[in-house]
């Protein structure tokens, strides 16, 4: 009973229904049934193209930002992909012109000081530490900012459109990075460049992401998903056992198992309280219209007279 309670909600529901058993080597729970259940909510849409699974975030009215429920379904969709014996490569993308604009700040703004269940930063998606069991490709279009940026960093490969914007936009509202970004970003692009993005919260273009090695490929607007499927076909044609072994070795060499666990735990311990101290206030500012579209002006009033006096002194 205890092991059943640890399963994702959708899997628990389906396990209580009659299941189809194909053979001893097949999945006990029919994967198409689980995918259909996920797709019913519409916020996450999963499709299977032979050995390729596409997972799409479908909340275009809020630039695909994730509330607690959608983040839970996205994590469950990734779990289903990992358990699907026929799926070899996964593709993560966003509908409506954006990849993911992070967690839903309007939901965070409603935090009442008591229940953490309504804060997506402490949900299952934000706590995914281990490497996905199979290669995962992020097809980045539009905004991939905040937790959406960190979500792209969780993937093995990133195909980024020229018009995309990536960055730590949550810096404007005092919301810390709690999805592994402080660990993964420096390992991918180096300490100095990572610190620039973390400290300034500025967005980078697709070209910058490509030049820094953050993007695997740079493609025109609207071409990321198609190129992602093409790249996935290049991966599935190879013998998978050796491919997955080399992938795991490369990941271990980059993120030593003990070090990454300690670093991720430090990220949580060091910053979690700031989500309540500063982040909730910042989320309320966003809900009131401050800091939209990546703008950081008007977040705090600046006394320009001090600058004029300093300028005169220098002259």
CB 207 within 8 A of CB 218: yes
- On the question of pLDDT at 302 being above 80, the answer is no
CB 131 within 8 A of CB 248: yes
Closest listed residue to residue 108, CA positions, set 16, 31, 174, 13: 174
Question: Per mean pLDDT, which range of 10-14, 110-114, 220-224 is the poorest?
Answer: 10-14
Question: Per mean pLDDT, which range of 1-15, 73-87, 145-159, 167-181 is the poorest?
Answer: 1-15
Domain boundaries, the chain: 41-314
Residue 210 vs residue 68, higher pLDDT: 210
- pLDDT for the residue 270: 77
Between strands 136-140 and 143-145, the pairing is: unpaired
- On the question of pLDDT at 272 being above 90, the answer is no
Alpha-carbon distance of 100 to 273, in angstroms, equals 24
Across 272-293, average pLDDT: 74
Sign of the four-CA dihedral 112, 117, 118, 121: positive
Paired tokens of 216: 């695997």
- pLDDT for the residue 24: 28
Alpha-carbon distance of 124 to 134, in angstroms, equals 18
CATH class, range 41-314: alpha beta
Across 287-312, average pLDDT: 59
Condensed to tens digits (0 to 9), the pLDDT of residues 194-212 reads 999 999 999 999 999 999 9
Paired tokens of 285: 């500012």
- On the question of pLDDT at 10 being above 70, the answer is no
Question: Per mean pLDDT, which range of 8-17, 93-102, 121-130, 141-150 is the poorest?
Answer: 8-17
What does the DSSP 8-state code read for residue 132? P
- Rama region for 201: left / alpha / beta (φ>0; ψ in -120 to 50; rest): left
- On the question of pLDDT at 108 being above 90, the answer is no
CB 176 within 8 A of CB 279: yes
Across 77-103, average pLDDT: 96
Q: At what angle do helices 31-39 and 68-83 cross, to 10 degrees?
A: 160
What does the DSSP 8-state code read for residue 61? G
Closest listed residue to residue 82, CA positions, set 42, 134, 9, 37: 134
Question: Per mean pLDDT, which range of 131-145, 169-183, 214-228 is the poorest?
Answer: 169-183
Q: Residue 120 in 3-state DSSP? A: helix
- On the question of pLDDT at 3 being above 50, the answer is no
User: 3 burial class (0-12, 13-18, 19+ CB within 10 angstroms)?
Assistant: exposed
The mean pLDDT of the chain is 82
- On the question of pLDDT at 274 being above 60, the answer is yes
pLDDT band at 315 (very low <50, low <70, confident <90, very high): low
């Amino acid at each position: 009973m205890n092991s059943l309670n640890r399963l994702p909600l959708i899997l628990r529901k389906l396990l209580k229904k009659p299941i189809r058993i194909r053979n001893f080597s097949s999945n006990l729970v029919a994967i198409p049934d689980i995918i259909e259940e996920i797709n019913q909510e519409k916020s996450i849409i999963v499709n299977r193209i032979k050995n390729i699974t596409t997972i799409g975030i479908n909340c275009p009215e809020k630039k695909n930002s994730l509330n607690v429920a959608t983040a839970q379904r996205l994590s469950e969709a990734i779990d289903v992909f990992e358990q699907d014996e026929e799926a070899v490569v996964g593709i993560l993308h966003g509908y409506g012109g954006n990849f993911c604009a992070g967690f839903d700040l309007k939901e965070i703004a409603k935090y009442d000081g008591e229940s953490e269940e309504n804060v997506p930063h402490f949900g299952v998606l934000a706590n995914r530490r281990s490497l996905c069991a199979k290669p995962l490709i992020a097809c980045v279009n539009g905004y991939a900012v905040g937790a959406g940026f960190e979500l792209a960093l969780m993937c093995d490969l990133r195909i980024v459109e020229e018009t995309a914007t990536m960055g730590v936009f949550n810096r404007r509202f005092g919301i810390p990075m709690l999805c592994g970004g402080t660990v993964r970003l420096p390992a991918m692009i180096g300490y100095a460049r990572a610190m620039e993005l973390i400290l300034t919260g500025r967005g980078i273009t697709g070209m910058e992401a490509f030049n820094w090695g953050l993007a695997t490929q740079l493609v025109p607007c609207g071409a990321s998903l198609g190129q992602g499927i093409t790249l996935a076909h290049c991966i599935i044609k190879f013998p998978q056992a050796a491919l997955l072994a080399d992938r795991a070795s490369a990941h271990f060499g980059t993120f030593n198992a003990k070090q990454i666990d300690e670093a991720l735990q430090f990220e949580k311990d060091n910053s979690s309280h700031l989500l309540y101290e500063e982040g909730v206030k910042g989320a309320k500012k966003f809900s009131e219209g401050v800091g939209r579209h990546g703008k950081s002006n008007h977040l705090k009033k600046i006394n320009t007279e001090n600058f004029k006096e300093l300028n005169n002194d220098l002259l």
